[in-house]
Amino acid sequence: MKIHRVIAPLILAGFVLSLVAVPGVAQQAKPEAKQAPAKIYIPKEIKDVLVQNLESRQTRQDFPFTIFKQLYLPARDASYIYFFYKMKNADLGFVPAPAQPGAPADAPAKLRAVFDVFLQFHQMEGGKSVKVVKEVYVPVTLEKDAAGFDPNAEEWYTVGYPLMPGSYLLATSVTTHDLKKIGTAYSDFVLPDSKAFTKELDTTPIIFLTDYKELQTAETVAEFHPGYLRYAILQISPSIDSTINVADTLDTFFYIYGAKPDASGAFNIECQFEVKKGEEPMIKFAPQVYPNPFVSQPLPMKQTLITKATDEKGNVKESQKVQDLAAGTYTFTVKITDKISGLTCNKAVDFTVVEPKAK
């Protein structure tokens, strides 16, 4: 993970603030006076299975998968919620993909898996579902190179969707296209109200990027993505276990709630980043100032070691040595100060540095 560019936060902010007419958000915020006939997004037999174990959260694993992580990012007055799925290749039904018309005879052979993902979002009150606010159908087609394919490998995928603030339960079903194999899982989550942060600062979950791409357009329908997520104009690959290699950059990405702009609409946010091992400071960075609440900051994991030696005349000489942060477990901390409102907050996330795997 060696990222040398910083995501352009001003451009990103413009795209995020435009995400108000996204599917689902506008419908929930301003329901139509005259309701059109309801579309069927989830077949009845799948709904029955999801409802059957809704209160107990008991999963069904005919089609095995797990939801192991979730995170959210802002979308104007709403949020994009992302769910991370783990699936074993052998369970996805990969078969040889038909050759593409006009493809060269020596084109690499491909394997293909086709299945369906159904998302049912429940609004929650007091631990109970009060209504279904959205149903989403996500058809999935995955392709992999046949060469080197490992059926025992477990890989991760993401799907994201925009929702208004509130408490929710996601009921997910992953099925074969003929519905003969059905898997289910449940995940509770809460999305913050950005307008509620009037006297405090907070952040979205802090993530460490392994890669990203800036694309031309934002995603407009929910899709199932292998090894990355789509956000506004970005394709982001986060480190799902907060691990980097020795000599890599710790590329941080998060959004700050509650910061106040000045009369011209500009922000003045200071972030003081530090890396600790237990209570021992390891790396302290110079304060960074940001003109809006998006923070995208690559941080080189380099330690400056200072040693002092006394010569025969009693003179103390000081020397410096810069070296890579050694393998181990550390804590990334950031103190955030809004220079306009005076509000502050502190965040801490553990991460691990490992020796690179031999190729």
Look up tokens 């990103």; give the residue: 12
Q: What is the pLDDT of residue 149?
A: 94
Q: In one letter, which amino acid is 345?
A: C
Mean pLDDT of 5-16: 58
Contact 204, 74 (CB under 8 A): yes
Give the chain's mean pLDDT.
88
Does 69 or 309 have the greater pLDDT score? 69
Tokens 């304060």 map to which residue?
287
246: pLDDT strictly greater than 60: yes
- In this prediction, residue 250 carries a pLDDT of 96
Q: What is the dihedral of CA 59, 60, 61, 67, to 10 degrees?
A: -30
- Note the pTM of the prediction, 2 decimals: 0.88
Of the pLDDT bands very low, low, confident and very high (cuts 50, 70, 90), residue 270 is very high
96 pLDDT above the threshold of 90? yes
Q: What is the pLDDT of residue 129?
A: 94
Is residue 197 predicted with pLDDT exceeding 60?
A: yes
Q: Count the alpha carbons within 13 Å of 156 in the hemisphere toward its beta carbon.
A: 16
Instruction: Report, as an integer, the average pLDDT of 126-154.
Output: 95
pLDDT at 210 over 60: yes
Contact criterion met (CB below 8 Å) for 75 and 16: yes
Nearest to 3 by CA among 349, 263, 310, 296: 296
pLDDT at 357 over 70: yes
Q: Is the pLDDT of residue 10 over 70?
A: no
